[in-house]
Amino acid sequence: MKITIIGSGYVGLVTGTCLAELGNDVLCLDLDATKIGMLNAGEVPIYEPGLKELIERNHAAGRLRFTSDIEASVQFGDVQFIAVGTPPDEDGSADLRYVVSAARNIGRYMTSPKIVVDKSTVPVGTGARVRQAIQAQLDERCLPALEFAVVSNPEFLKEGAAIEDFMRPDRIVIGTEPGTAGQRAREAMRTLYAPFTRNHDRILNMDIASAEFTKYAANAMLATRISFMNELANLADAVGADIELVRQGIGSDPRIGYSFLYAGTGYGGSCFPKDVQALERTAAEYGQTPRILAAVEAVNHEQKRVLVRKIVAHYGEDLSGLTFALWGLAFKPNTDDMRAAPSRVVIKELLARGASVRAFDPVAMEEARKAVSSDLADEPAAKTRLHFVPDQATALQDADALIVVTEWKSFRSPDFIAVAAALREPVIFDGRNLYEPEELRQLGFIYHAIGRGDNYQREALIKKMLTSA
């Protein structure tokens, strides 16, 4: 098939590249001429494992091309994927200006029937807005009968595993309109995704509104599990329980499972924060109060400060003169995405209390510099106490403690003897529960994790209970 991808960001690049890998002829559009120049020169503006190699292979084979020519991109593809950003508006709702603009451009330049696929994460009702925008342009051009169909085909890609998720999907959601055009679009989408359905039909056909809603519902559910587990972890710290053992205990129940039950410093990235907010906004528009979603967001907001609270409990509110090594800046491993990353909150709050920070991330250093520089735009003095260092060992030198924020594999099994020797004191604040508390304490570390229940806390609680009994 001939396919146009409108928007060469994260979703667009992964979608276009993977469809080209399956043998389709793909043209990716982006209005950022600098980005298109980079892509045509073999550079990839985002980090995603395996993506650069796939782009190089398909670009060399002529199946994947990049352009900033809107008219050419509309003329090219029989199927037009809209994969532009939908950032949160000031009120938390999804900003659809780029989606609607893409739809208008399709209507402005199309001269043959098109299938227009919403790949962007959009609220219920967007399919109708896309249809309206395209039809308005066709009417203006005196081509009211030129056929097109609108499809909702939400993405379910995890950053850091997007290629695997696309090439081995657990489900493919396709929402189509009623009528003959919708039926033809459904059949075309089934043909496009046929390589994924030969052994097992993963396609879920539904109406457009249900497909749009499915994406938000999925992300809201996952975000809920994270916030729920983090709230339990904070309670586990208070009562002296070990949340890791609790996770194993409840995760073994097949009705619950283990996915997204890891306690930590909260979720970030481009999806969960904005999608939860957008779903809340949609509910408000229909006169409903989404109490669970509001709680999910509130818990996550506070959880990003849990490490700082532990640090303050250990050292006191004034951290002047202290230096902290910080491992991990991206919101999750295998990505350079700094959007809503917990590390940004941790860094800003430590600097506000007078501390110095030596930070390292295997991939996200450049994005982190830009993001944190924006966060500290009004605090030039604080900036002087933040240092981005070239490796994790350098971050440790003469630091008072180590803070782990992102669970990169390279952080999982460090030489703890060397870590202790490099630090002024053997203190670790682990925001991802990478290490075993008892093992580190036997090595002489003071170890603070999320919901792992310090031994001295357990002993104090037991004594208290025995005394009160």
Is residue 107 in some structural domain? yes
Q: Are 11 and 72 within one domain?
A: yes
177 and 288 in a single domain? The answer is no
Q: Are residues 192 and 224 in the same domain?
A: no
pLDDT in tens, 241-280: 999 999 999 999 999 999 999 999 999 998 999 999 999 9
Residue 175 and residue 38 in one domain: yes
3-state helix, strand, coil in the chain (%, to 5): 50, 15, 40
pLDDT in tens, 349-381: 999 999 999 999 999 999 999 999 999 999 999
- Distance CA(375)–CA(386), nearest Å, equals 12
**Is residue 22 domain-shared with residue 170, that is, in the same domain?**
yes
Question: Which of these three, 206, 237, 272, is where a domain ends?
Answer: 206
For residues 286 and 398, membership in a common domain is answered with yes
Q: Please report whether residue 8 resides in a domain.
A: yes
CA distance readout (Å), 403 to 44, 46, 118, 375: 30, 26, 41, 20
CATH number, domain at 64? 3.40.50.720
Does the residue 306 lie in any domain?
A: yes
Residues 53 and 116 reside in one and the same domain: yes
In a domain, 464, yes or no: no
CB atoms within 10 A of CB 193: 18
Q: pLDDT at position 456, please? A: 46
Q: How many domains does the chain have?
A: 2
- Domain's final residue, options 143, 172, 206: 206
Per-residue pLDDT at 458? 53
CB burial readout 146-179, b (16+ within 10 A) else e: bebbbbbbbbbbebbbbbebbeebeebbbbbbee
Q: How far apart are CA 217 and CA 204, in angstroms?
A: 15
Position 436 scores a pLDDT of: 95
Task: Quote the pLDDT of residue 93.
Answer: 87
434 phi and psi angles, rounded to 5 deg: -75, -25
Closest CA to 2 of 112, 101, 102, 98: 112
Q: Is 377 in the same domain as 257? A: yes
Q: Say if CB 266 and CB 232 are below 8 A apart.
A: no
- Does 466 fall in a domain? no
Range of the domain at 68: 2-206
Domain boundary among 184, 206, 228: 206
Same domain, 260 and 347: yes
Co-location of 256 and 398 in the same domain? yes
Residue 214 resides in a domain: no
Residues 37 and 158 occupy one common structural domain: yes
Task: List, for the chain, all residue ranges whose pLDDT scores fall below the cut of 70.
Answer: 454-469
Its pTM stands at 0.91
Contact 372, 330 (CB under 8 A): no
Same domain, 182 and 233: no
Within-domain flag for 267? yes
Judge whether 261 lies within some domain: yes
Catalytic residues: 271
Question: In angstroms, rounded to a whole number, what is the distance separating the alpha carbons of residues 125 and 132?
Answer: 11
